[in-house]
Structure 1
Amino acid sequence: MKIYKDFNFYKKNFIFQIVNSDIKNKKYTLICTRFPPEPNGYLHLGHIKAICLNFTIAKYYNGKCYLRIDDTNPSTENIKYIEAIKKDLLWLGFKWDGKIKYSSDYFNILYKYAIELINKDLAYVDELNIQDIRKYRGTLLQPGKNSPYRNRPKKENLELFQKMRLGYFQEGSMSLRAKIDMKSNIIIMRDPVLYRIKYRKHHQTGKKWCIYPTYDFSHCIADALEGITHSLCTLEFQDNRILYNWILNNININVKYYPKQYEFSRLNIENGITSKRKINFLLQNGIIKGWDDPRLFTISGLRKRGYTPSSLKNFCYKIGITKKNNIIEISSLESSLREELNKTAYRTMAVLKPLKIIIKNFPKKKKIKLIAPNHPHNPKMGSKIIYFTKEIYINLLDFMEKDTKNYKRLVLGKEVRLRHAFVIRAEKIIKDSFGKIKYIYCSYDPNTLGKKIEKNRNVKGVIHWVSCLYSIPATFYLYKNLLLKNNTENINDITSMINTKSLSIYNGFVESNLLKTNNSHFQFEREGYFYLIYNNQKEKTMFFNRIVSLKENYN
Structure 2
Amino acid sequence: MTDNVDTHSSPTAASNFIRNIIEEDNRSSKWGGRVETRFPPEPNGHLHIGHAKSICLNFGLARDYNGICHLRLDDTNPEKEEQEYVDSICDSVRWLGFDWGEHLHYASDYFDKLYEFAEFLIGQGKAYVDSLTADEIRALRGTLTEAGQNSPYRERSIDENLAMFRRMRAGEFPDGAHVLRVKIDMASPNINLRDPVIYRIRHAHHHRTAGKWCIYPMYDYTHCISDALEKITHSLCTLEFEDHRPLYDWVLDQLTDVVQCHPQQIEFARLNLTYCVMSKRRLIELVEGGFVDGWDDPRMNTLVGVRRRGYTPESIRLFAERIGVSKADSWIDMSVLEDCLRQDLNERAPRRIAILDPLKVVIDNYPENQEEECLAPNHPQKPEWGTRSVPFSKIIYIERGDFMETPSKGYFRLSPGAEVRLRYAYVVKCTDAVKNSSGEVVEIHCTYDPDSKSGTAGADKRKIKGNIHWLSARHAQQAEVRLYDRLFAHAHPDAGGQDYKSFLNPHSKRATTAYVEPSLIQAGPEDRFQFERNGYFIADRVDTKPEKPVFNRAVTLRDSWGKNA
For normalisation by structure 2, the TM-score amounts to 0.92
Which residue is 1:28 aligned to?
Answer: 31
Which residue is 2:506 aligned to?
Answer: 500
Q: Secondary structure at the match of 1:163?
A: helix
Contact 1:270 1:328 in 2 (8 A): yes
Of the three residues 507, 515, 528, the one matched with 2:521 is 515
Q: Secondary structure at the match of 2:549?
A: strand
Distance 1:488 1:221, change over 3 A: farther
Of the three residues 469, 494, 512, the one matched with 1:464 is 469
Of the three residues 288, 295, 301, the one matched with 1:284 is 288
CA distance in 2 between partners of 1:460 and 1:31 (Å): 58
Distance 1:440 1:423, change over 3 A: same
Mapping 1:540-555, distance limit 5 Å = 540-551=547-558
Contact 1:10 1:321 in 2 (8 A): no
Which residue is 2:563 aligned to?
Answer: none
Mapping 1:90-169, distance limit 5 Å = 90-169=94-173
For 2:553, give the aligned amino acid.
Answer: R
Deviations 1:431-457 (A, max 9, x none): 2223333211111111221245768x7
Deviations 1:473-528 (A, max 9, x none): 11111112212322355658422122222111121111112233578111111111
- Structure 1 position 364, deviation (Å): 1.9
Q: Percent identity?
A: 46
CA distance in 1 between partners of 2:344 and 2:288 (Å): 36
1:346 pairs with 2:350: yes
1:174 pairs with 2:181: no
Of the three residues 89, 93, 100, the one matched with 2:93 is 89
What stretches of structure 1 of length at least 5 have no aligned partner? 2-6
Which residue is 2:364 aligned to?
Answer: 360
Q: Secondary structure at the match of 1:328?
A: coil
- How many residue pairs get aligned? The number is 545
Q: Secondary structure at the match of 1:446?
A: coil
Which residue is 2:5 aligned to?
Answer: none
Deviations 1:42-71 (A, max 9, x none): 111111111111112212222211111111
Q: Secondary structure at the match of 2:18?
A: helix
Of the three residues 484, 503, 515, the one matched with 1:479 is 484
Distance 1:471 1:266, change over 3 A: same
- Structure 1 position 8, deviation (Å): 6.4
CA distance in 2 between partners of 1:374 and 1:549 (Å): 19
Contact 2:523 2:539 in 1 (8 A): no
For 1:480, give the aligned amino acid.
Answer: D
Contact 1:349 1:464 in 2 (8 A): yes
- Structure 1 position 12, deviation (Å): 0.8
Of the three residues 226, 231, 235, the one matched with 1:231 is 235
For 1:121, give the aligned amino acid.
Answer: G
- Structure 1 position 283, deviation (Å): 1.1
Which residue is 2:22 aligned to?
Answer: 19
Deviations 1:172-197 (A, max 9, x none): 22211111112211111111110011
Deviations 1:371-404 (A, max 9, x none): 1111111111110001111111111111111121
Contact 2:252 2:259 in 1 (8 A): no
CA distance in 2 between partners of 1:358 and 1:407 (Å): 22
For 2:536, give the aligned amino acid.
Answer: Y
CA distance in 1 between partners of 2:306 and 2:485 (Å): 13
Runs of 4+ that moved beyond 3 A? 7-11, 252-256, 451-455, 488-493, 516-519, 534-538
Q: Secondary structure at the match of 2:54?
A: helix
- Structure 1 position 131, deviation (Å): 2.6
- Structure 1 position 469, deviation (Å): 1.3
Q: Secondary structure at the match of 2:466?
A: strand
What stretches of structure 2 of length at least 5 have no aligned partner? 2-9, 561-565
Contact 1:294 1:302 in 2 (8 A): yes
Contact 2:523 2:549 in 1 (8 A): no
Distance 1:145 1:537, change over 3 A: closer
CA distance in 1 between partners of 2:545 and 2:154 (Å): 71
Comparing 375-384 with 117-126, greater Cα deviation is found at 117-126
